[in-house]
Amino acid sequence: MAGKYCCFRCPNEDYTLHELEDTCPTCGKQYDFPLQQVPSKVRDYYDLKPIARGFYGVTYEGKAGSLARPVLLKVIPIDVYKHFNKDFRKECLTHKEVSDGTEHLVDIMDAFDEEVDFQGEKLHCHVAELQYVPGDDLDTFLDNKDNCNSHAIAQIARDLFTLLAELERKKRFHNDLHAKNIRIQRLPEGSYRAMAIDSTLRAVAIDLGSVSDTRACSH
């Protein structure tokens, strides 16, 4: 899918649209290489599966501990954040502050730096463990015509407006909210959402890396 992707190995200010299979003009690596060369583990997290490639990093679904607790991991090369003068620790603290007490923002559980082995390509990376949210990203959800009924669409739209309201109440703005950042959770039978249009669904933002205290124009 065409999108804006920063090369993991040689970051630069290239905001043009690329296909994931396109190669970086500097190093020749495909933009989707972290989706194809999936690490066997990151620290103590294992059984990793690729979820999505963002501009800066990649998101994996994985497991942790002896009970195989499901997790989401956001992995970003340290050099990428250095190049763009982004502060990972500050970003994670902001994420925690914003997500506390909200319904449509995924919680952040931990954050650390680690050398990650992408099947022979070792990179020093920032890693954030996010609360696991079962479901599909919004693009995948909408690709299934069976999901595209009026109640589901209305519920997702309502949840996204609620998400924006939650951010604005905390004087924060998400400057890169797109379908790959939104996970559609199917709630278990018996769960209850007050005043819901479709009580079986909940839309949750899983990547808050572009949350700031100012609005920004997209590139």
pLDDT at 189: 72
The domain containing residue 98 runs over which residues? 33-130
- Block residue for tokens 């998101």: 59
- Give me the percent of the chain exceeding a pLDDT of 70: 91
CA 141, CA 184: separation in Å to the nearest integer?
7
Query: Do 42 and 108 fall into the same domain?
Result: yes
Question: Does residue 22 register a pLDDT over 90?
Answer: yes
**pTM score:** 0.86
Query: Do 115 and 143 fall into the same domain?
Result: no
* Mean pLDDT for the stretch of residues 46-73: 95
Residue pair 131/78 in contact by the 8 Å Cβ criterion: no
CATH number at residue 43: 3.30.200.20
Query: Do 118 and 187 fall into the same domain?
Result: no
pLDDT at 144: 94
Query: Do 169 and 99 fall into the same domain?
Result: no
Structural domain includes residue 11: no
Structural domain includes residue 18: no
Structural domain includes residue 5: no
- Which class for 66: exposed (0-12), middle (13-18), buried (19 or more C-beta within 10 A)? exposed
Give the SS3 label for residue 71: strand
Q: Which of 85, 103, 130 is the last residue of a domain?
A: 130
